[in-house]
Chains A and B, each alone.
Chain A
Amino acid sequence: SQTIHQWPATLVQPVGSPLSLECTVEGTSNPNLYWYRQAAGRGLQLLFYSVGIGQISSEVPQNLSASRPQDRQFILSSKKLLLSDSGFYLCAWSGRRGDEQFFGPGTRLTVL
């Protein structure tokens, strides 16, 4: 069966520090991968999606970036965090775009 992992589970970082969040999927190949952010009391905001290795599409311009170095690995990064980057970050995968998505457990990021 397929599983999706995210780490770390929680992270507290100072403003201006770098960020790296990792997501890996097991039990499937060539998944579509997604990064979402949930700010407090807000809905889901799609940040990035990827249909294959090295292929990244950005939905919202910001100081975050994403990379997909391997088929089942998706990384969210920042060179310098802002206070507004705080939130709950969710990674998800789907077998094809538009079909049901399977979500990871999330990473709670607090920028101080």
Chain B
Amino acid sequence: AQSVTQLGSHVSVSEGALVLLRCNYSSSVPPYLFWYVQYPNQGLQLLLKYTTGATLVKGINGFEAEFKKSETSFHLTKPSAHMSDAAEYFCAVSDYNDMRFGAGTRLTVKP
């Protein structure tokens, strides 16, 4: 069975600083990988996904993630944080049959 570990339940950055949210996965098959964002009292929204092909994936709102098979990682980055990026972020892994979510990372952006 696959699993996801998100390092850091809380991350705080200053506005304009680099955002780095870490995600490591385990899977017995080549995985599909996802990042979702959740704003307060709302459902989850897909930021980006990796299935096959190019390992650097660009998503909405300026976010991107790189699939590194050797490191079993799929970290989410954004060059410059904006106040509106403050939210909960979830990494997820799929073996084409089941999707498993990480515990989430709450991102705080300081002015």
Contacts and interface: CB of A to CB of B under 8 A. Distances in A.
Contact of A98 (B45, B46, B98): B98
A3 to B, nearest CB: 12
B101 A43 contact: yes
Contact of A100 (B49, B97, B98, B104): B49
Interface residues of B, number: 21
A103 B45 contact: yes
A103 B101 CA distance: 13
Contact of A106 (B41, B49, B101, B103): B41
B95 interface: yes
A73 to B, nearest CB: 18
A98 B103 contact: no
Interface in B1-56: 32, 34, 36, 41-46, 49
B108 interface: no
A36 to B, nearest CB: 8
A90 interface: yes
Contacts of B94: 98-99
Interface in B54-103: 90, 94-99, 101-103
A36 B95 CA distance: 19
Given A100-B46, A103-B45, 8 more contacts: A43-B103, A44-B101, A98-B96, A98-B97, A98-B98, A99-B94, A103-B44, A106-B42
Interface of B: 32, 34, 36, 41-46, 49, 90, 94-99, 101-104
By Cβ-Cβ distance, the 10 closest A-B pairs, closest first, are: A103-B43, A43-B103, A98-B96, A98-B94, A103-B44, A44-B101, A98-B97, A43-B104, A105-B43, A106-B43
